[in-house]
């Protein structure tokens, strides 16, 4: 995800990286060439004049914009739900550590607290890798001991196994009489909320927007953009390719943005910055324990995936 300061309106006109324009250039170039050919042939195909004018295209474009708006709203809802789930993950991990520091009456430099921080941080990293389908071993090896690694590395759903290890840590505190059964219940509440975060993220990944709906909208947009040239050729002549490309850019760009944010846990420019969030969670936990601070974000513009 690209994180940058708010820029001047004029500079935003020329922003390249982070916009969808680079991936749209081949499609827009093809539409421009087709429009040039249609203007050159005066809107005829095999000596048949295509009888189109701007009026029906304007009405159809309005309806298409409504459907495209619905598509973007559906995609953004998935994006925002993913962001709320990761915000909840930060809150629940903080709550677990706070309970360990206060209810279990452990000092900030106690090895058991450091072990819990590593488990909670590993949980965030494991969830990130599971959602992206990447290998978590390198991040896990930095934070887990050998015994924990042996348990986690063979598991298919590593965040779930790490939740079990965190629950075992809480159970250990109960056996050592650091907490009582009521206090253990408080820990369990936050562990259940961690499970809800995992389930919510898995629901987003495993339930995409229906494919047939995406295909229908995709085809309609490109057919509409192709027909625009026939509707404008008589009234705009050689200005037609420029107008068609400008209108096509609006429709095609909205579709591309919707496709990009539909899966918010990826590594595209506008997806959620999961690396940054994992570092933020780890930094916040160590900060609560007063042991070390991780500088997870620079103040200047940067790309954090």
d(C-alpha 171, C-alpha 151), whole Å: 18
Global pTM reads 0.85
Residue 179 near residue 104, CB atoms below 8 Å? yes
Beta bridge partners of 258: none
In the three-class reduction of DSSP (H, G, I as helix; E, B as strand; rest coil), residue 44 is classed as strand
- Whole-angstrom distance, CA of residue 270 vs CA of residue 201: 17
**3-state SS of 262-278?**
HCCCCCCCCCCCHHHHH
What Å distances lie between residue 168 and 43, 148, 179, CA to CA?
73, 12, 13
pLDDT digit string (tens) for the chain, length 305 residues: 555 566 666 676 767 676 778 888 899 999 999 999 988 888 788 777 777 788 888 888 888 888 888 889 999 999 999 999 999 999 999 999 999 999 988 888 889 999 999 999 999 999 999 999 999 999 999 899 999 999 998 889 999 999 999 999 999 999 999 999 999 999 999 999 999 999 999 999 999 888 888 888 889 999 999 888 888 888 888 898 999 999 999 999 988 888 888 999 988 878 899 999 999 999 999 998 887 654 444 333 344 55
Among the listed residues 154, 97, 147, 87, the one whose alpha carbon sits nearest the alpha carbon of residue 121 = 97
């Amino acid at each position: 995800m690209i994180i940058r300061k708010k820029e001047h309106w004029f500079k935003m006109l020329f922003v390249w990286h982070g916009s969808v324009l680079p991936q749209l250039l081949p499609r827009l170039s093809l539409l421009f060439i087709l429009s040039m050919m249609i203007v050159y042939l005066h809107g005829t195909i095999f000596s048949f004049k295509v009888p189109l004018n701007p009026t029906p295209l304007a009405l159809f474009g309005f309806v298409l914009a409504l459907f495209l708006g619905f598509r973007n709203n559906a995609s953004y809802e998935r994006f925002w739900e993913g962001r709320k789930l990761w915000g909840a993950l930060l809150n629940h991990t903080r709550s677990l550590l706070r309970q360990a520091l206060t209810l279990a009456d452990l000092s900030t430099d106690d090895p058991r607290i450091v072990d819990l921080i590593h488990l909670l941080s590993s949980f965030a990293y494991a969830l990130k890798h599971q959602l992206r389908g990447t290998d978590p071993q390198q991040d896990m090896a930095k934070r887990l001991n050998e015994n924990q690694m042996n348990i986690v590395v063979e598991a298919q759903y590593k965040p779930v196994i790490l939740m079990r290890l965190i629950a075992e840590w809480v159970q250990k505190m109960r056996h050592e009489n650091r907490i009582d059964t009521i206090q253990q219940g408080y820990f369990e509440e936050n562990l259940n909320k961690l499970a809800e975060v995992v389930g919510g993220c898995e629901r987003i990944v495993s339930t995409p927007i229906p494919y047939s709906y995406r295909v229908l909208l995709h085809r309609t947009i490109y057919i509409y953009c192709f027909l625009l040239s026939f509707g404008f050729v008589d009234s705009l002549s050689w200005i037609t390719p420029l107008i068609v490309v400008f209108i096509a850019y609006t429709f095609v760009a909205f579709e591309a943005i919707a496709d990009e944010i539909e899966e918010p846990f990826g590594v595209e420019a506008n997806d959620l910055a999961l690396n940054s969030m994992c570092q933020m969670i780890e930094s916040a936990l160590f900060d609560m324990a007063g042991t070390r601070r991780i500088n997870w974000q620079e103040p200047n513009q940067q790309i954090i995936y």
